[in-house]
Amino acid sequence: MKPAPQQRPPQGARGWPARAADACSRLQTWLMVACLAVMVVLLFGNVALRYLFNSGINASDELSRLAFVWLIFLGAVLAMRDHQHIGVTMLVQRFGRRARRLVHVVCQLLTLWVLWLMAEGGWAQTLIGTGTRLPVTGLPLAVFDAAVLYAAVAMGLLVIVDLVRVLAGGDPPLDAAAEDTTV
């Protein structure tokens, strides 16, 4: 029999960092909805205009591609917050509490290093992209690269918060496991 999942504490019992993280999560969710809506409207509108009136929206391809890129990276940040990225936990689940905590800290440090590389590359590409313009809309190419930079920084902050929580004595999450009650 499965234990009942833990409920989040009542709103007043949570500190301001948790409430701020929840607000950011809701904002990112709404931004994802907006990106999806922009994609649907632009692509459907462009197809309808092409077939019905033999014309189209010139910028629809670039703007829908931009919305798609941002949708993906916003979703990656939300998945990181909720521990929904794929994780192989069958070995770690067999460890004791201290070993699991040690493995989690090492994995989070490696993740932080990879996110640092991602942020460094995203920053370099964003700087390069400021001088290049998209052909139809004239937007700087940096608007695509900024999504990578944003995702790396946001996920890095989430990893740092998780590291502080685990090093302060909290249990490491059972990433991607059905028994994960920290979500």
pLDDT tens sequence across 10-42: 555 567 777 777 888 889 999 999 999 999 999
Q: Which of residues 55, 82, 109 is at a domain's end?
A: 82
Do residue 89 and residue 112 come from a single domain? yes
Please tell me the distance from the alpha carbon of residue 49 to that of residue 42, in angstroms, as a whole number. 10
Do residue 31 and residue 89 come from a single domain? no
Report if residue 70 sits inside a domain. Answer: yes
Report if residue 2 sits inside a domain. Answer: no
Both tokens of residue 111? 């993740």
Please tell me the distance from the alpha carbon of residue 78 to that of residue 33, in angstroms, as a whole number. 13
133 forms beta bridges with: 140
Do residue 67 and residue 124 come from a single domain? no
Can you give the pLDDT at residue 13?
A: 52
Report if residue 54 sits inside a domain. Answer: yes
Residue 6, pLDDT > 80, answer: no
Count the Cβ atoms, other than its own, within 10 Å of residue 66: 20
Please tell me the distance from the alpha carbon of residue 102 to that of residue 168, in angstroms, as a whole number. 13
Report if residue 105 sits inside a domain. Answer: yes
pLDDT tens sequence across 32-87: 999 999 999 999 998 888 888 888 888 888 999 999 999 999 999 999 888 887 77
Do residue 133 and residue 158 come from a single domain? yes
Look up the pTM and report it: 0.79
| 122, 152 contact by CB (below 8 A) | yes
Report if residue 8 sits inside a domain. Answer: no
Q: Which of residues 64, 82, 100 is at a domain's end?
A: 82
Q: Which domain holds residue 115?
A: 85-182
Domain count, the chain: 2
Do residue 92 and residue 166 come from a single domain? yes
pLDDT tens sequence across 95-133: 888 888 888 899 899 999 999 999 999 999 999 999 999
Do residue 118 and residue 164 come from a single domain? yes
Report if residue 106 sits inside a domain. Answer: yes
